[in-house]
Amino acid sequence: MRLLLVEDNPLVGTMLRVNLGQEGFEVHWHTTGESALTALETLKFDLALLDIGLSGISGIEVAGRIRKLGLETPIIMLTANDDLDTRVHALDRGADDYLAKPFDMDELIARVRAHLRRSSGTLEHLPETEVHIGQAVMVLERKTLRDPAGQLHSLTDKQVALVQYFVRNPARVLTRDNILEEIWGREPAPTHAELDGLIAGLRARIEREPSHPRYIVTARGIGYRFEP
């Protein structure tokens, strides 16, 4: 896995490059936002670690440029300024997560691995193959679903992510909190009731009898179980 690291503090940058390298990651370390953006023109990165407080182009601006390029690369912001406004601004510009300095290296590595797990099944990496659930047919890369009656529907990114998560975890009870953490990460997540509504909408397009689901089954009081 290739990581983009943008950090202008030589001690922090060296520590991150060494520790992440020992975990098997290929770390490309840049000390300015300008050089990081140049690297993005020629290399594909699996995850970006961006210091917010850079001179010149800030880490938040780099995150915004990454999103403007249409890249779904997971972004973790590293910040010495952990106030609410800074965090909200970073998330609004496309960051997926943030860590306040000083941070625990084991926690950072765990978060890197968690985001890489989530992104490994994103649309960017999906072949254009069909996923069949009962008589419903989905092409996840195109975000389309053909229901059992033959009607074609568009899927939202969150619906696609839900389908992927269920398909990766067949016959396993997934709590509502499991699902929220997996699909939304550190984004503002919906309530359990809103998640139930999202599941109901997905069932309505997959199940022949949504009131008696065969494939996305309720684990009463806990969450859901996918039965292929």
Give residue limits of the domains in the chain. 2-120, 127-226
Give every CB contact of residue 18 below 8 A, 6+ residues apart in sequence: none
User: 155: pLDDT confidence band, cut at 50, 70 and 90?
Assistant: confident
Q: Do the two domains 2-120 and 127-226 of this chain adopt the same fold?
A: no
pLDDT band at 25 (very low <50, low <70, confident <90, very high): very high
Assessment of whether the complete model's pTM goes beyond 0.75 = no
Q: What is the mean pLDDT of residues 115-140?
A: 71
Contacts 24+ apart (CB under 8 A), 197-202: 198/158, 198/159, 198/162, 199/162, 199/224, 201/159, 202/159, 202/162, 202/163
Residue 124 has pLDDT above 90, yes or no: no
The pLDDT-based confidence of 28 (bands split at 50, 70, 90) is very high
Alpha helices in the chain (DSSP H): 10-22, 33-40, 59-68, 84-92, 105-119, 157-168, 176-184, 192-206
Q: Are 225 and 174 contacting, i.e. CB atoms less than 8 angstroms apart? A: yes
Mean pLDDT of the chain: 87
Residues facing residue 5 across a β-bridge: 29, 49
- Please determine, for residue 83, whether its predicted confidence score (pLDDT) is greater than 90: no
* CATH class as words, domain 2-120: alpha beta
Write out the CATH class of domain 127-226: mainly alpha
**Is it the case that residue 21 has pLDDT exceeding 70?**
yes
Contacts with 91 (C-beta within 8 Å, 6 or more apart), sequence order: 98, 186, 187
